[in-house]
């Protein structure tokens, strides 16, 4: 029999099939589900029904299933920073922080305690062996690739990580789940933040935790043109909810200054830039000089640019990136670096 594997099962179709494939490959498989969020959830992967789906799939496959309560860690390492970033006028990536701190740190430490060397997930990405060690690569299904949200994983994690779905399309995954009669075969995907409910939304979530502050909206000349009730809800590129007078050309948010409670708007052309400042940057292995494929959101289209000092220099004009967003660099479909975009003043 192959090595025992701990499989992180979220209650979705991907992790269900990942467990099934590893079991079929001869591994001793144990399914685990992290209970992260104790508050209300009607989306994402934190609802009570998701834990139940994971347990039932494990029963169907004939494998053990355990639930780990990491709620305190989640509140400290994901929810707290998410709220703090919004208070600072930033646009955070909570799923990346969940991967960094929970799925591939806290869970791996639990795997160590239980004697598991290998961890598997249902992410659509690949671990690629190179002369410089394991590297994270894009999944075969471009539309479902999740390497962006996994870019923080280092070589020590990748050596222990199995990604059975990396070479498959989503259609392939659903077909396998249907053939195995898994209850998650046709379960809809969720791409929302798991702790923000559809019923109450982000503004209510933040308003329950921090005082939301009104802000003045100005144009590039400094003239007041509107107001917003909550600067914490504003992000780069936003067009609606800015309190602007009608009858004028559309205006877009081009800067958010939380310290002065000011939002700057401009024309669509003002969103274009040739550089993006970086708060931080980390190369994976050697520095990758020259043009790279750079991606600024989980489902965004990668575009050409280079990392020069503490900024991205785009090959072509690029839309402004909100402070707090992750920027991930690829070469030959392998992750070679990543960092956090900084504030770009108007």
The reply to whether 333 and 236 lie within a common domain is no
Catalytic residue among 45, 46, 95, 194: 194
Which among 107-121, 181-195, 242-256 has the top mean pLDDT? 107-121
Please give the tally of structural domains in the chain. Answer: 3
pTM, entire model? 0.94
- How far apart (Å, rounded) are the C-alpha atoms in residues 119 and 160? 6
Q: What is the pLDDT of residue 105?
A: 97
Q: What is the pLDDT of residue 49?
A: 82
Q: Stretch 48-53: mean pLDDT, rounded?
A: 86
The reply to whether 285 and 307 lie within a common domain is yes
Beta strands in 90-249 (DSSP E): 118-120, 125-130, 133-138, 161-162, 215-218, 224-228
Q: Is residue 150 part of a domain?
A: yes
CATH number at residue 331: 2.40.30.10
The reply to whether 13 and 153 lie within a common domain is yes
286 vs 44, residue with greater confidence: 286
Q: How far is CA 140 from CA 123, 167, 168, in A?
A: 11, 5, 6
Q: Which residues pair with 253 in a beta bridge?
A: 265
Q: What is the pLDDT of residue 138?
A: 98
Beta strands in the chain (DSSP E): 2-8, 27-35, 64-69, 118-120, 125-130, 133-138, 161-162, 215-218, 224-228, 252-257, 262-266, 272-283, 292-295, 303-308, 311-319, 326-331, 334-341
- How far apart (Å, rounded) are the C-alpha atoms in residues 296 and 24? 37
Q: Stretch 215-225: mean pLDDT, rounded?
A: 96
Q: What is the pLDDT of residue 246?
A: 74
Q: What is the pLDDT of residue 41?
A: 60
The reply to whether 231 and 216 lie within a common domain is yes
Q: Stretch 224-232: mean pLDDT, rounded?
A: 96
Q: What is the pLDDT of residue 210?
A: 97
What percent of the chain clears pLDDT 70, i.e. is strictly above it? 97
Range of the domain at 26: 2-179
The reply to whether 257 and 301 lie within a common domain is no
Catalytic residue among 45, 46, 95, 98: 98
* Whether residue 170 has pLDDT greater than 70: yes
Q: What is the pLDDT of residue 44?
A: 56
The reply to whether 140 and 235 lie within a common domain is no
The reply to whether 94 and 30 lie within a common domain is yes
Q: What is the pLDDT of residue 37?
A: 85
- How far apart (Å, rounded) are the C-alpha atoms in residues 263 and 223? 11
Which residue, among 149, 185, 145, has the nearest Cα to 165 in the 3D structure? 145
Query: Confidence band (pLDDT; 50, 70, 90) for 38?
Result: confident
- How far apart (Å, rounded) are the C-alpha atoms in residues 122 and 139? 11
Query: Confidence band (pLDDT; 50, 70, 90) for 249?
Result: confident
The reply to whether 169 and 135 lie within a common domain is yes
Mean pLDDT for the chain?
Answer: 94
Q: Stretch 269-295: mean pLDDT, rounded?
A: 96
Q: What is the pLDDT of residue 137?
A: 98
The reply to whether 60 and 158 lie within a common domain is yes
Is residue 194 annotated as a catalytic residue, yes or no?
Answer: yes
Please classify residue 306 by burial: count the beta carbons closer than 10 Å to its beta carbon, then call 0-12 exposed, 13-18 middle and 19+ buried. middle
CATH number at residue 118: 3.40.50.620
The reply to whether 139 and 242 lie within a common domain is no
Q: Which of 191-205, 269-283, 290-304 has the lowest mean pLDDT?
A: 191-205
């Amino acid at each position: 029999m192959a090595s025992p594997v701990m499989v992180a099962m979220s209650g979705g179709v991907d992790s269900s099939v990942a467990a099934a494939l590893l079991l079929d490959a001869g591994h001793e498989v144990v399914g685990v589900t992290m209970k992260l969020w104790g508050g209300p959830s009607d989306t994402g992967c934190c609802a009570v029904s998701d834990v139940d789906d994971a347990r039932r799939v494990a029963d169907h496959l004939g494998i053990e299933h355990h639930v780990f309560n990491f709620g305190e860690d989640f509140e400290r390492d994901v929810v707290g920073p998410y709220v703090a970033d919004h208070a600072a006028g930033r646009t955070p990536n909570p799923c990346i922080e969940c991967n960094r701190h929970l799925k591939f740190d806290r869970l791996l430490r639990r795997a160590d305690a239980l004697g598991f060397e290998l961890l598997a997930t249902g992410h659509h990405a690949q671990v690629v062996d190179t002369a410089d060690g394991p590297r994270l690569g894009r999944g075969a299904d471009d539309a479902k690739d999740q390497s962006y949200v996994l870019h923080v994983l280092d070589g020590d994690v990748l050596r222990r990580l199995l990604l059975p779905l990396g070479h498959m399309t989503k259609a392939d995954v659903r077909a396998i789940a249907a053939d195995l009669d898994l209850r998650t075969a046709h379960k809809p995907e969720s791409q929302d933040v798991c702790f923000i409910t559809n019923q109450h939304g982000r503004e209510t979530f933040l308003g329950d935790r921090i005082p939301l502050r009104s802000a003045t909206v100005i144009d590039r000349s400094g003239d007041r043109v509107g107001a917003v009730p909550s600067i914490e809800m504003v992000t780069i590129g936003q067009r609606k909810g800015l309190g602007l007078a009608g009858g004028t050309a559309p205006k877009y948010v081009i800067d958010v200054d939380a310290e002065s409670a000011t939002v700057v708007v401009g024309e669509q052309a003002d969103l274009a830039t040739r550089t993006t400042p970086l708060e931080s940057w980390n190369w994976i292995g050697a520095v990758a000089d020259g043009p790279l494929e750079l991606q600024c959101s989980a489902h965004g289209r990668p575009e050409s640019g280079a990392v020069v000092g503490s900024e991205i220099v785009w090959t072509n004009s690029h839309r402004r990136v909100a402070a707090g967003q992750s920027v991930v660099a690829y070469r030959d479909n392998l992750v070679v670096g990543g960092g956090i975009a900084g504030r770009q003043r108007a």
